[in-house]
Chain A
Amino acid sequence: MDERTYSVGKLAQNWKSEKAQTITFIVTNDCNLRCKYCYITHKSEDKIMDFSVAKNFIDYLLTFDNIKFSEAVILEFIGGEPFLEVELIDKICDYFKVAAYKLDHQWYWNYRISICTNGINYSSEAVQKFIAKNYNKMSLSITLDGTKEKHDLQRVFPDDRGSYDIISKNIDLWLKQFPGTTKVTFASDDLPMLKDSIISLWNLGVHTVNANVVFENVWKDGDDKILEEQLIALADHIFDNNLYDKDLICSFFDESIGYPYDEKDLNATYCGAGKMIGLSPEGNIYPCLRYYAHSLNNHEEWPIGNIKEGIDMEMVRPFMLASNRLQSDQECINCEVATGCAFCQGFNYDEAKTPTNFYRAKYICKMHKARVRANNYYFAKLFNKYNLKRPEINRHRKELYFLLSEDYENYCSFNNKNSLRSFMSIDTILKGLKFAYHNFYNPVFVHSKSEFSFENIKDYESYDILHIVPAKFLDKAVDCGLKRILPVYDLNSLSYKDPNYENVILNIAASEIEQLYDSVKILLTRTSRININIIDLDKQFDELEYRRQMLKIKDLILGIEKSQGIFKEVSLLTDVLFINSHDNCKAGHKTFVLSPNEKLYTCCAIYSNEAKSSIGNINDGISVDYDARLYEIENSNLCRLCDAYQCKNCIYTNKVSTKEVNVSPSFQCRKSHVERLVSSEILNELNQISKFKLNIDKKIAELGYQDPIAAFFNINNESHGYYKYEKK
């Protein structure tokens, strides 16, 4: 109950979020304001909904049995300004409540009335009477843009007068009746007022601020920089005043944004058009109000039915089938920070060259990236200052490995033999961190094997850094304040006791493989997971001994599971149970290396052995065309046909052994298939342990080969010439 958490960075919970159907009544096209950023570009005084239109619509919804009902409903009233028609809204709500009750429809009690008003006539007798009548069944927000200067810049009357003074008189009354929630929109001109506006709203008692930037093509060069600076200044204000856990929300800060899309995201879409229902004053039904003519400028409106004929479900199908995959171009699909990038399908439709829903306007791109950077800054500081972590999201973000010394610790299967104690300067580290921040790399610091002289300066507090530290230096690392540490063990450091890290690295040479089981056994007593690196893998690798060791580790894992009910993970054996795509080192694709001399490399082995093969530097970024496509797993004819997903597929081993980074030597493939085979035995035995509750939905098929080149030969029937591979 006393667990510390944060509110800034989380989003406000919507009432019954996923369970509620939103029904929008566009009660009028008129508004008493003329806000400059408003998307309703065709306001008119004479389009007001007749009560009979709403009544017929409600009757249709409550009685027509070809609609799939959600358990709850949100009755949303919108305009123009909805409270210009408060008597109509009141009549509609009363009709709905009684009609649903008479029919004993679940919606008679499971409903919310939702209204977002400009607040001009909030204190009027009619509005107050309506609120009193619907007490505890309403969500009501007043759109207030922040400071008077910011608000009056955008939210003006038809004669260009600002509306702040009039609305602010109603704020105290509103905050006595409802939790303070507002929606703030920013366009190009008012970005410099962002920080002050959010703080002003919080100070006023409006604790939940849902903020966004407009989707339209209004952004000027440098606007992204201003947004980023404003959000960072706001983050600093939050920390300086300890506001992060005071029940304040600003949706610009969102713990879930800034990750690449996964398959689930690609099949989903950002916007709820087609899941909601909108009714126009004329009695036409829309997938969302943004498909109604009052906000469209280029294409005709897109109704999906009307109150006489009902909803034409054929017309709804495109909305059910909308997905990020088909709405986005390759740049958006492959974006490193795609999640949380907002769009409005109605606006996209209006902006598309042809009248299609499968299009995405991208004017917001640079603004989203600025927001993600500021979020990364905020969450890094939240972690470093208060030890509060945003939830781990299992996506592969790009990583930049900082080799802090020439004698950097081994962190993959490459054995760094350089013993030179030459350290990366603080100036280079800071430049590298800025580079990583701007280009969305997670920074990983790889510390020296032989000396821990790292100075943890305050400037690093703005970055969420993973430190790979030799086990023998763990005490020093903790003492100097490092937070996110991945300890590295080898045969000489197994006796170093650490304060129970969840996850550790174990480096073991291929020539020491007969000691693998004993090493794992020691480490598993004090950690939940071991990432094993088999160093210096080559043709001489003793596969039989490796299999023996792995089988013993299998028994160890299962024994712990049976006796203690704890499932310990050993990367090369258990990862494949949980993943459905390759989890290799991703060198040259998702992970890169920064050397002490400020150059960028695809991997540490290339740096240490072929220093001339840099692909760029910290000032210019990646500037060399290194044929990046060959580093993607899909472009390996072995890996794309192989499901030994735990395989590290060292691109340096590939290059040294076969001359190609995307062609693994057979001994590396065969090693991975030994692991795969033992993993399948773990899976079979786990399925027989009744108390095993990991809910693994995984099958590992029996193969007739240990080298996946056989799979390629199966699909490529051409002559293989003289090439001969070992089948078993």
Chain B
Amino acid sequence: MDSKVVWQLSEEDLNEIQDLFERKIAIENLIKIVNLKDGDIYEKLIKDYGKITREFQQWWDIKSSQYKWEGTNWWVDFTKSQVLTRI
């Protein structure tokens, strides 16, 4: 798969998306091990998951529009602070 760098993220932007990503994955992995029987925690998890998913998507919507990124279906290379797209 060929990719193209469309943006070099600032430290602030990188930290934002990295934290959102970490939160989202953490909850997804928690959902794998917490089951319905765990009542309160399960409910909180589902609520938190909805919230983080919205925030995650919002970040992409805002930044892609703000910086006018080329293409679609972007992803971040956290080691290089780069936003990439498929070509």
Contacts and interface: CB of A to CB of B under 8 A. Distances in A.
Contact of B29 (A1, A102, A110, A134): A134
Given A13-B79, A102-B41, A109-B23, A97 B5 contact: no
Contacts, number: 40
Interface string A101-115: 110000011110000
Interface of A: 1, 12-13, 94, 97-98, 101-102, 108-111, 133-137
A133 B79 CA distance: 23
A1 B8 contact: yes
Contacts of A135: 25, 29
A94 B26 CA distance: 11
A484 to B, nearest CB: 28
Nearest to B79: A13
B29 A111 contact: no
A141 to B, nearest CB: 15
B33 interface: yes
Contacts of B27: 109
B26 A111 contact: yes
9 contacts: A12-B79, A13-B79, A97-B30, A97-B33, A108-B30, A109-B26, A109-B27, A111-B26, A137-B26
Nearest to B27: A109
Given A108-B26, A137-B26, A94 B33 contact: yes
A101 B41 CA distance: 9
Interface residues of B, number: 17
Nearest to B4: A1
A135 B26 CA distance: 9
B26 A97 contact: yes
A110 to B, nearest CB: 6
A98 B8 CA distance: 35
Contacts of B19: 110
A137 B22 CA distance: 8
Contacts of A136: 25, 29
A137 B41 contact: no
B34 interface: yes
B68 interface: no
A458 B32 CA distance: 62
Contacts of B33: 94, 97-98, 133
A3 to B, nearest CB: 9
B78 to A, nearest CB: 8
A129 to B, nearest CB: 11
Interface in B9-23: 19, 22-23
A101 B19 CA distance: 16
Nearest to A101: B30
Contacts of A134: 29
A97 B8 contact: no
A109 B25 CA distance: 8
A12 B80 CA distance: 10
Contacts of B5: 1
B22 A109 contact: yes
Interface string B55-73: 0000000000000000000
